[in-house]
Structure 1
């Protein structure tokens, strides 16, 4: 089995796995498209070779920083949003809100949620034809404060998702993060609990309930509009508070 080799991009610092069978002398970062490292054509077998490679990595990193400082290379921008560069994008019948939260400053930090968002975004663009400027991404890595996954920003983005929806529209909501539940206060839950998702500021701003999500992105849907919701969180089976729930017998 080809387990691969771990490398870290000296430009954007993302970690990638390169197949051990890949004998290419040049490895290009899939994210920032910078030639990040040159591997020898033979597998490393001695400590001396490994030390030599580490030295080359350090030298390449210093070279990249120098080039960036001189303005000859544009630094990698972690933002995945193209909306800011299109203040008035043309209306599209395909729109998406993708939210991934790692809770960096919280005890129960998650790993991989931002990668989930990146992969989903790439899938929507390359496989399903969603315009880049019509995909709104919320992660803690975004530089625009409008796209930090706070409760207010998530709710505003969900309103944006369904605003002026029309028959034939295809809408997508993706969430990767923590999910909890709390006692049901309006007696509309069979199990006595409301399911929730947890914005990055939920300890102060509160959680977003299944009742809230239903009001934000289910009730406003016009006839003929399709909404796909993928929620990767605990207690998310009935997170949209839909009238019907499907249970597989398998």
Structure 2
């Protein structure tokens, strides 16, 4: 008996698809989005059962941790802090930090260059320098409230190792309260790996690469969410600006903006797929990232002449600086247009020697992405830090 495929629509572009039988992930031929296919068989029931069991086990671990005043650690040695927005889950004690928390506006800016590696990036330090200047000169962030991590820093605590980045993120949210505005900017490599705790729509976790990732490992979206998203109290605002490949849902926020067939952005609820609470403790978390989870971003000189920068960081700063008070929707559109226009200029200018590099940049798939802990009207809400 011949097995027929399953009909479904692409979650991004809405195209009608015929998915082959026994397929669990499928790439839309129209927009190239990777779609997670829910199995229509008894294995799906087993999958749901595993999800429920995992959720109950985590609740049990939190309860044990609260009652015994001990920290329950994940497999990578990181405390399961702020795992739920519910107040009955007590917060683990934050590690001792080498920095003092300053100001109602503060930021962590992290640029990883990977000196001595074949995949070295040339624009990440420039990205951080530009972002620091922009935050201080245009958005009123105090200079002593901005923590910078790059490989050019003389203080060993400010080299972007896995440990130091984690410590900096703890510093960012430590003692935050209503009225605080927090920023996490990262420029560096990103990647994906298979999702083993079943909280991802596409079955992949997103990862950031610290400078010592080969020995210490990468930083997952689950870690980032637990560290800087879930502890945010009512009235606190966090913006993550992530210039890395595969960074669309790097904060694991519940709501993701997608463009419909009419060309307008609308919110998709990714939170219903997860057995783990991924929202805040009442505050607002927003992530603006360089590209979708299945896309790559670029480090290029096409935007700023001879100086290498991340395309996303440059287009973000230019958009906000040139058009104060623009909406989130307008910000996405302007950033996207800036990147696309740069690709066209890159093909028209330069020498034949750089043709291969220009063609790689022109063909790279990069659309800035927006995700949030809460839904809001992106076309009427002004972007503010």
Q: Determine which of 172, 181, 191 is the counterpart of 2:183.
A: 172
Residue aligning to 1:144: 155
The TM-score, its normalising length taken from structure 1, stands at 0.64
Corresponding residue for residue 104 of structure 1: 115
SS in 1 for 2:255: coil
Aligned with residue 238 of structure 2, among 227, 230, 235:
227
Q: How far apart are residue 105 of structure 1 and its match?
A: 1.8
Q: Which residue of 2 aligns with 1:128?
A: 139
2:194: which partner in 1? 183
Task: Tell me: CA distance 1:170–1:103, structure 2 relative to 1, closer, same or farther (3 Å).
Answer: same
Is 1:205 the equivalent of 2:248? no
List per-residue Cα deviations over 1:170-197 (Å, max 9, x = no partner): 0000000000111111011121110000
Query: Which residue matches 1:116?
Result: 127
Please give the per-residue CA displacement for 1:132-173, whole angstroms capped at 9, x wherever unaligned.
111000000000000000000000000000000000000000
1:81-101 residue CA offsets vs partner (Å, 9 max, x unmatched): xxx9xx757x41000000001
Quick check: which has more Rg, 1 or 2?
1
Partner of 1:81: none
Q: Distance in 2 between matches of 1:200 and 1:144?
A: 15
Q: Secondary structure at the match of 2:259?
A: coil
Number of equivalent positions: 164
**SS class of match (1:140):** coil
Residue 214 of structure 1 pairs with residue 221 of structure 2: no
**Cα separation, partners in 2 of 1:88 and 1:161, compared to 1, 3 Å:** closer
Mapped pair 1:158 → 2:197: no
* Distance (Å, rounded) in 2 between the aligned partners of 1:216 and 1:105: 30
Q: Distance in 1 between matches of 2:132 and 2:184?
A: 11
Alpha-carbon deviation of 1:248?
3.0
Query: Structure 1's 88 and 244: CA in aligned 2 closer, same or farther, altered over 3 A?
Result: closer
Aligned partner of 2:207 in structure 1 is: 196
- Aligned CA RMSD, in angstroms, stands at 1.3
- Provide the rounded CA distance (Å) in 2 between the counterparts of 1:127 and 1:153: 28
Partner of 2:89: none
